[in-house]
Structure 1
Amino acid sequence: MVPEFAQLLLNDSALYQGTLILFISLLLSKIAPLPRAAQPLVAFNLIAKEMALKVNRRNRSHSQQVIAGALSALLLVVPFWAIIAFMLQLAAFPWFFEFVILYICLNDENFNLVADEVNRALNQEDKARARTMLLPWLTRDTKELTEVGLSKATIEKLVTAPVYGTVASVLFFIIGGASLVLAARMLKQLELCWVPINPKFRYFSRPVYWLNTVLFALPSWLWNLSLAIQGGPKSLATLFKPVALNGRIYHELQTCAIAASVLNIELGGPMKFNGVRVNTTKLNYGPLPKQNAIRDAIKLTRVTHLIWISFVVLIPLIWAGLRYLQIG
């Protein structure tokens, strides 16, 4: 029986190798993240900003801005992705490059460390330090944020980052490997750079936003479900009440609504982009965030991450158990 079981395990080696790559990537992204300045996706973000400065003209018609956004996204994503995907196919040890790609795509997962530092700064009433720490992570204005605004911004980033980090990486790696994870992450990075609710990118970012709405619908829903089950029936009910903004549903707002429900706080509300005020839906599920609301949000996301890591580990173990029963 042992040789037969060993042979079955060998036949499924791709499954176990993929699980190991995923698990180590998730683990290292938490305990040994790259410094933000050294992250390739941050450099990609800078290129995207420069591209937008050159081709995004507000005086053009809406359709021209949409076309410019679509062509810019193609020009930024396709060449870089094609080169890396081609190199991945030619690599003698593709598992190593798959690990590197996943590790890079997961580096926003270390925002919980920044969130903890922001919480400490707010506890010490050092709002200037909190704003400085948040500035590289957000595209919205931070210089005028109050203590409540800083708490809200930190919590919202904390609970939405895993959608395109942990959850998308796990699902897309299972479906299409590291190449699909990279393509999805690059598209999401463009959306984070060209924020759809920023008036400056209202039409320019629309093609990327539409594509990401479809692409990240399942990861968003699964992450929202992972959050909602920790808040009981009330939070689960929020899962089925889409939050709309200007007639359009934003998955990030839905995620924030569920997190607000679980934490019993208020999130959302007005934001500023380049000095322009944008009114977003207030998510009233309790009082304004208090001093340790960020710490509670960190605990919430930590538990949810453990759920997903457990999923990554348990699936191959269950499969191996079924294989063993098959020959028993």
Structure 2
Amino acid sequence: MPELDIQWLSNIALSDFSVRLLILLGIMLLDQFIALPSSYHPKLVFRYLSQQLAAKVNSRTATQQKIAGQITLLVLISLTFGFTWLIMFFAVYPWFFQFIIIGLLISSKPLLTSANIVKRSLENNHKVLAREQLQQLCLRDTKSLSTLGIAKATTEALPQRLIISYFSPILIYACFGIYATVLAVTVSSAAQIFNQKHLRFFHYGMSANLLSRIIIFPAQLLFSLNIYLLFGAKTSFSHIINQAKNWHTFGNGLIINVSAWALNCSLGGAVIYQKIKITRPQLGTTTQPSVIHINDIIRVNQQVITSWLGLIVIAVVSSLIINTF
């Protein structure tokens, strides 16, 4: 019986980029089936620490709040960055601890599950349950939302949240490694906790929110292009970009607009945050969203996740082939 020639395996010297791609591939595959319960997630410690740091500054002047917010952000970055550096410095197998850390920072399943629960609740006419579950996805007041309002809020919120918790960390880790990813996720998480839509964090969270918008924009742009290429639209991508410029933040407006055109529905319009009505432009077509569109936005995001997974597989194979020469 002829022996298998496996000598080529010994010729493969994996680069750091190849290792990161393999780690991402493993994490993205696991994420399809396993999700750490939110009650056990280390981010709870981060949230608690962030809230404690912000507890006593809200009655100060706007300038003092901005400075305090910047100091808080610097403290949080120093803690998470320092903790990661210590782990990696003493790690015998750095790739293993990178897998653990990045696995904790990247997740899509909890958000997709929340959107599915909202959809099923509306299908069963359980609006109260749908409104409660919607709070896992967005900050707006949900107590008085109609079926239309719940459908619109879910359709808008899901892709925005997935950018922060899934697509942006994947892109940053693939390009820049673990330290840049920890830094980016720390800033984005702080921006969510100190979201400027909460009036008491309008000045305090300004720096975190500004940095977060810069950090996640490349992922927002790639995500929007991905949806446009996969599903198309009844208009050009340049028109989608021009409409998105009317949104209060261009990146979020781009995501919402391309989603609206892909689903052939209308998104945007007035919303209420802390009993204050905020007027936003209408994006997309004239068809009002419904429960069907929640199912569609879940399907769209799942297909984008699959396409990113496919790209990672292609990149891994290409990297391994290149490393053999």
Query: TM-score, structure 1 length as denominator?
Result: 0.88
Output one character per residue of 1:3-59: Cα deviation in whole Å (capped at 9) or x when no partner. 7743442x12544432221112112223110112112223322432343332133x6
Describe the shift of the 1:33–1:162 C-alpha distance in structure 2 as closer, same or farther (beyond 3 A): same
The whole-number CA distance in structure 2 between the counterparts of 1:21 and 1:173 is: 10
Structure 2 equivalent of residue 123 of structure 1 = 123
Equivalent in 7, 20, 23 of residue 22 of structure 2: 20
Shift of 1:221: 0.9
The amino acid that maps onto 2:176 is G
Q: Which residue does the alignment assign to 2:183?
A: 183
After TM superposition, the structure 1 stretch with the greater mean CA deviation from structure 2, 252-261 or 40-49, is 40-49
Distance 1:240 1:180 in 2: 28
2: CA distance, partners of 1:245 / 1:124? 36
Moved more, 315-324 or 180-189: 315-324
Deviations 1:123-166 (A, max 9, x none): 11111011122223433222122211211221222112232233
Q: Is the contact between residue 243 and residue 257 of structure 2 (CA under 8 Å) also seen in structure 1?
A: no
User: Counterpart in 2 of 1:317?
Assistant: 317
Q: Hey, what's the Cα distance between the residues in 2 that align with 1:169 and 1:149?
A: 30
- Structure 2: give runs of 5+ residues left out of the alignment: none
Determine the C-alpha separation between the residues in 1 that align with 2:118 and 2:95. 36
Percent of residue pairs bearing the same amino acid type: 22
Q: Quick check: 1:29–1:110 contact (8 Å CA) kept in 2? A: no
CA distance in structure 1 between the partners assigned to 2:163 and 2:202 by the alignment: 22
C-alpha separation in 2, matches of 1:311 and 1:275:
43
Equivalent pair of 2:65/2:203 in contact (CA under 8 Å): yes
Q: 1:281 to 1:83 in 2, by over 3 A?
A: same
Inter-partner Cα distance in structure 2 for 1:244 and 1:55: 34
39-48 or 223-232, which deviates more: 39-48
**Does residue 271 of structure 2 align to residue 268 of structure 1?**
no
Q: Is residue 6 of structure 1 aligned with residue 25 of structure 2?
A: no
Pick closer, same or farther for the CA change 1:277–1:186 going to 2, 3 Å.
same
How far does residue 119 in structure 1 lie from its aligned partner after superposition?
0.3
Amino acid at match of 2:129: R
Contact 2:241/2:254 (8 A) holds in 1: no
How far is the alpha carbon of 1:314 from its aligned partner? 0.3
Mean alpha-carbon deviation: is it higher for 300-309 or for 44-53?
Answer: 44-53
Letter in structure 2 aligned against 1:38: Y
Deviation at 1:63, TM superposition (A): 2.7
Relative distance call for 1:97 and 1:287 in structure 2 (3 A) is: same
Paired residue for 1:236?
237
Q: Is this contact kept in 1: 2:107–2:166, CA < 8 A?
A: no
Distance 1:42 1:137, change over 3 A: farther
Q: Are 2:155 and 2:297, in contact at CA under 8 Å, matched by a contact in 1?
A: yes
Would the aligned equivalents of 1:109 and 1:166 in 2 still touch at CA under 8 Å? Answer: no
Which of 50, 53, 63 is matched with 1:51 structurally? 53
Q: RMSD of the alignment, in Å?
A: 2.4
Asked if the contact 2:27/2:99 (under 8 Å) is kept, the reply is yes
Letter in 2 for 1:240: I
- In structure 2, relative to structure 1, the CA distance for the partners of 1:51 and 1:303 (3 Å cut) is same
Which residue identity lines up with residue 9 of structure 2 in the other structure? A
1:283-325, CA deviations, whole angstroms, 9 ceiling, x for partnerless residues?
A: 242311122111111110111111100111101212334566x
Aligned residues: 320
Give the drift of 1:235.
5.6
Structure 1 match to 2:195: 195
Q: Secondary structure at the residue paired with 1:283? A: strand
Question: What's 1:301 paired with?
Answer: 301
